[in-house]
Amino acid sequence: MAWKGHYRPNNPQKYDGDTTGIIYRSSLELRFMQHLDSSPGVVQWQSEEFPIPYFDPSTNKFRRYFVDFKVVVKQGDKTLTQLIEIKPAKQCEPPKVPAKRTRRFITEMLTYGTNIAKWKAAEEYCLDRGWKFKIITEKDLGMR
């Protein structure tokens, strides 16, 4: 079942951006938003608020990647900034090669290649700023 909707935070002071425009595109994103909103360790968070440029190998063009979340958390007396992408676990692995190369397989390979390019750009973006990049799946959120 595909989930999609607007999220209204219980702690709007923690959200860095327009709280009326927070959109989730999956039940995984909704669950993570609820966690960010209620977690006392989260100082601030955003959802798809800024782009990271990357080169898309499937189209041979430069594009913009809007990472799912930017999160600032307390770590002792310091803070840590993280960029977080929410993905189903199966989309974090290359597709299995079928006996016959189908249109679906080719599409999955192109999507996987694009995701890898996005994630590499996000990692470099974070490295330049002393931040962390992390991919979170349903396994990390305790969902199946």
The predicted-structure confidence for 36-61, as pLDDT tens digits, reads as follows 999 999 999 999 988 999 999 989 99
Split at pLDDT 50, 70, 90, the class of 1 is very low
Pick the catalytic residue from 48, 56, 87, 140.
87
pLDDT at 50: 85
Strands (E), the chain: 5-6, 23-24, 42-47, 51-56, 61-66, 69-75, 78-86, 132-136
Pick the catalytic residue from 37, 68, 70, 85.
68
Per the annotation, the verdict on 29 as an active-site residue is: yes
What residue ranges define each of the domains in the chain, with the CATH number in brackets?
Answer: 5-136 (3.40.1350)
**DSSP-derived 3-state class of residue 93:** coil
Asked if 15 contacts 36 with a C-beta cutoff of 8 angstroms, the reply is no
Pick the catalytic residue from 14, 29, 70, 85.
29
pLDDT at 45: 98
Of 66, 34, 31, 65, which is closest to residue 47 (Cα–Cα)? 66
The structure's pTM equals 0.88
User: How far is the CA of 6 from the CAs of 19, 46, 140, 144, in angstroms?
Assistant: 10, 14, 23, 23
Over residues 92-105, the pLDDT tens digits come to 899 888 888 789 89
Per the annotation, the verdict on 140 as an active-site residue is: no
Per the annotation, the verdict on 108 as an active-site residue is: no
Asked if 135 contacts 87 with a C-beta cutoff of 8 angstroms, the reply is yes
**DSSP-derived 3-state class of residue 18:** coil
